[in-house]
Each structure stands twice: as C-alpha cells, then as structure tokens.
Structure 1
Amino acid sequence: MARPSARPKLIEAALRVVEERGITALTLDAVADEAGMTKRGLIYHFPSKHDLITGIHEDLAARIERELVEATGGEPEEASLVERTKGYVRAALRAPTTVEMRLIMEAANEPEWMEPWLRVYRRWFPEGEQPVEELDEVALRCLVARMAADGAWGYESTLAAPLTQEGRRRLVTRILDVLDQP
C-alpha cells in the first residue's frame, strides 16, 4: 500500500506559519520545522519557496472550487449564471481566514500564483471575458454581485474586528437581492 503524500501536511504547516507569524516568516526551514519534517523532505515535494507558495495557491483554489460546488449545489456546467453567482456570493462571504486574504493579495503580483484562482474563476464564469459594455442586464447584475462579494474581503481585511456571522448573513442577503430584481 502506497504512503499518502506529505504535500497536504506541508501546505497546512505553511498556512500555520503564515497565520501565526506572517508571510515574511514563510521559509522552507520554518515550514519543515512546523511540519516536523526535515528540510530535505520538504524540498522533495517543494524544491523552492516559490514552488511551495504555488502549491499553497493551488490547494486554496481547489478548496474554493469545492466550496463553490457545495454552495451552488453542483458543477458550474449544470447551473445558470445566476445560480453560479449566488453560489459564489455564499462561498466568498464565508469567514475567510487572515492567511487566505494575505496570500490572495500576494498572488496578484505573481502570475503563476494567480493562475489557479483564474482557472477556477474562468471555469465558473467564462462570460467574464466579455467587456462590461456588452453585458446584458442579468450578466451585469451578476458581475455587480460578484464584485460586491469580492469587495467584502477587502473591507474585512481593513477592519480591526472581523464581520460577525449576523453581519455576514445580512451582506449575503442584500447582495443576493440584487440578483432577484426583475
């Protein structure tokens, strides 16, 4: 029987390092130590810090995709644009961790780190490549709802205190109201 890969354990260790000590503390030594592995064992899976961060983004994007499937009730090909957007709003406004926010903000500066996020987004919203001026009314409302959900991340990252569950619920309800307008 094959041993399970150590990659998930290493990614979780890296996420703990970033959450507890910040992105600048993310080193191969720190992750190996946090995971209880040798640096050589870590390098077998992630030859460089860049590769480790790429692996983290791939893992986080895969988690978001699973949340989108759950929040939408199925795969994107089985759902309308409005249903996919409602799922996106619900998934995006779950309580994000500080580490996710930090890493996603860092990804904007590195195309390889951004690619897993773009792959998920393009799968769920292929019409997103269309210029705003060409969107019909429903597609425009869906775009506004997604932008509002994304903006909640930025809003929360600048607050001294995170949104409460009630505040989060109210935001989801209000954003989804935009989609139900005639």
Structure 2
Amino acid sequence: MARPKLIEATLTAVEERGVTALTLDAVAEQAGVTKHGLICHFPSKHALIAGIHEELTAGFELALIEAAGGPPERASLVERTRGYVRAALSASMNVEMQLIMEAANEPEWMAPWERVYRRWFPEIGQPVRGLDEISLRCLVARMAADGPWGYGAVLPTGLSDGDRERLVRTILADLDGA
C-alpha cells in the first residue's frame, strides 16, 4: 500500500468523520487495508497526521510555485503574495483547515507549514508598525486570503468557485501598482 493512497484515505476519513473521530482503524478501513498494513507506514496516529501535514504542505508549495510563476527565490514580494492569494483561494480547503486548526498546538504538525511560509515570506514576524507600504499591503492581502478558510468552514456549503474567484480579484486589486 503506497503512502499516497493512505494519505488520501486519511483525508477522506477526516472529511467524513472529522479530525476528532480520526483513528487508525478508520483510516485502515477507508483504505481497504489492515491496521497492521497502515502501521507499517505510519506507526501511530501522531505519525500519520505528521505525514498528512508534510503531504499537504508539499502540494500547497507546488500550487504556490505555479501561481507565482516560479519558486520564491525568483519572485518579488508582490509576486509571492499574488501567488499565495491565488493558491490559498484555489479550492475548498475544509479538510486542510480542520487539520491545521488541530495542529495549532502541535509543533511537529505545524513545522512543515511554517517551513513553507517562511520560505515564501522570510520577513514574517516583523512588527506591523515597521512595515513599508508595499510590505503592509502584501501582509493584508495574505491575511485576507486566509480568512475565507474559516468563513467557508462555517457555511453549510462553503464558498463556490465563483465566490473564491471574486475574492481573489478583489484582494489582488489592492496590490495593483505595488
């Protein structure tokens, strides 16, 4: 059983049952493998969730590279921010949001997200009062792009593709000329 199939089964189990109901038994059942088969790849629920975060961040970084037109080293802050807004709002991310919220107090689970974010935005953590106008506008755009994750989670149907596209256009409009 390949890890990607187990990761996909885990995401499906989280989507159907929620993070709190996630068990190794539920994932094994979803993947159609024995619990022992799952444990060969992920020896614990903690390791499974850590693997999920590694997989999700790898996918998110690929989306960032595509949306920004290249890796962060070859993009300006504005280009990286535009890419972030597009990638963050490219699809419904209810499962990812649930997992990230669950990871908030678990450094090992958050580490891959921090690694990607710091790679794309190394200036993170600077006091807002010290940011120049462009850096501030980019920060506000990233924060605006993160907001729909929570907003979409409380709606019974989430945000439609059209809604997400309108939000992208509106957020990016503030970066025009930056």
TM-score when normalising by structure 1: 0.93
2:66 aligned with 1:70, yes or no?
yes
2:115 aligned with 1:119, yes or no?
yes
Q: Is the 8 A contact 2:88 2:145 kept in 1?
A: yes
Alignment match of 1:86 (pick from 82, 88, 91): 82
Write out per-residue CA displacement over residues 95-132 of structure 1, whole angstroms, 9 at most, x where no aligned residue. 22321121111111211111110000000000113221
Answer with 20-29 or 60-69: which moved more. Answer: 20-29
Which residue number in structure 2 is paired with residue 23 of structure 1? 19
After the TM superposition, which residues 112-151 of structure 1 pair with which residues of structure 2 at under 5 Å, given as runs? 112-151=108-147
Q: What displacement does 1:37 show?
A: 1.5
Q: What displacement does 1:25 show?
A: 2.4
Which residue number in structure 2 is paired with residue 41 of structure 1? 37
1:126 counterpart SS class: coil
**Distance in structure 2 (CA, Å) of the matches to 1:96 and 1:128:** 25
Residue ranges of structure 1 left out of the alignment (5+ in a row): none
The letter of the residue matching 1:69 is I
Alignment match of 1:107 (pick from 85, 103, 118): 103
2:153 aligned with 1:157, yes or no?
yes
Q: What displacement does 1:170 show?
A: 1.3
Q: Is the 8 A contact 2:118 2:124 kept in 1?
A: yes
**CA RMSD, Structure 1 to Structure 2 (Å):** 1.3
**Distance in structure 2 (CA, Å) of the matches to 1:145 and 1:127:** 15
Write out per-residue CA displacement over residues 130-162 of structure 1, whole angstroms, 9 at most, x where no aligned residue. 221111110000000000000111111122232
1:154 counterpart SS class: helix
TM-score when normalising by structure 2: 0.95
Write out per-residue CA displacement over residues 6-35 of structure 1, whole angstroms, 9 at most, x where no aligned residue. 211111111111111221221111111211
The letter of the residue matching 2:14 is V
2:174 aligned with 1:178, yes or no?
yes
Paired residues in the alignment total 178
Identity among equivalent positions (%) equals 70
**Distance in structure 1 (CA, Å) of the matches to 2:162 and 2:16:** 27
**Distance in structure 2 (CA, Å) of the matches to 1:165 and 1:7:** 30
Structure 1 segments of 4+ aligned residues over 4 angstroms from their partners = none
